[in-house]
Chain A
């Protein structure tokens, strides 16, 4: 018995083909926020776990008093470490909360209000925390 033949397609010369279109959506804010969560998250695994280990496990929490802070912030590299932890953790967390708000707060008015409060508090505390780390002197 003869092998079944494939259905033939009308031959199309390349000049008649539809132009190849890149159908991937353009990178927008959400694309960058997605990348930011992954990159900042990887850095934060190191920064946050080491920070917690130093302040709660290697030292007892009651030992991390004002004198402890003075010693630590006498080194600008520790200030940089703490500022990076502050910045990455705050914006990683803020973006996560933004996703949570967009998932659960459906009414446009309530969503706008929730975002306004969340962003307002976060940006204010980021600015204040930065000011403290930069301007601190014992």
Chain B
């Protein structure tokens, strides 16, 4: 008899939170390494720092910053959920509500913040 076809675990909210937590954490860590390099330029040559730093005002990097803001918010709120479940196991009964709150706070802070970041572009001041 041939082995059964591999089954796909169609996980619930916890599995998706786990994956999103890894992805956002990894991306924020990669940005941190880059950010140490770009800020360190200020100690070598402030003019060089300014010319590199000006790139962050570009629309592509502004979109990247919005992604960073959403990633930070999700990772923070989901991390808070993990700490709550670890130290107060009883709240696992409210698992779905907690995940809903994580998503809600991420969007409720992420969207207005992103609008502020993108505002110079929306107003047409930058390309």
- Smallest CB separation, B123 vs chain A (Å): 11
- Smallest CB separation, A98 vs chain B (Å): 11
Cα distance A89–B90 in the bound complex, in angstroms: 29
- In the bound complex, do residue A93 and residue B28 qualify as a contact, i.e. CB atoms below 8 Å apart? yes
Interface size class of A (residues with CB under 8 A): 35 or more
Task: Give which listed residue, A56, A122, A125, A136, contacts B42 with CB less than 8 A.
Answer: A136
Cα distance A122–B29 in the bound complex, in angstroms: 10
Cα distance A136–B46 in the bound complex, in angstroms: 11
> Given that A66-B42, A66-B46 are known contacts, is A97 also in contact with B29, CB under 8 Å in the complex?
yes
> Given that A41-B79, A45-B76, A89-B32 are known contacts, is A100 also in contact with B39, CB under 8 Å in the complex?
no
Task: Give which listed residue, A45, A52, A89, contacts B80 with CB less than 8 A.
Answer: A45
- The stretch among A14-22, A24-32, A57-65, A108-116 that forms the contact with chain B is A57-65
Q: Which residues of A contact B117 (CB under 8 A)?
A: 56-57, 61
- In the bound complex, do residue B29 and residue A94 qualify as a contact, i.e. CB atoms below 8 Å apart? yes
> Given that A66-B50, A93-B29, A132-B42 are known contacts, is A56 also in contact with B36, CB under 8 Å in the complex?
no
Task: Give which listed residue, B42, B43, B72, B120, contacts A48 with CB less than 8 A.
Answer: B72
Q: What 9 A-B pairs have minimum CB-CB distances, sorted nearest first?
A: A93-B29, A66-B46, A62-B57, A45-B76, A129-B36, A41-B79, A125-B36, A132-B43, A61-B56
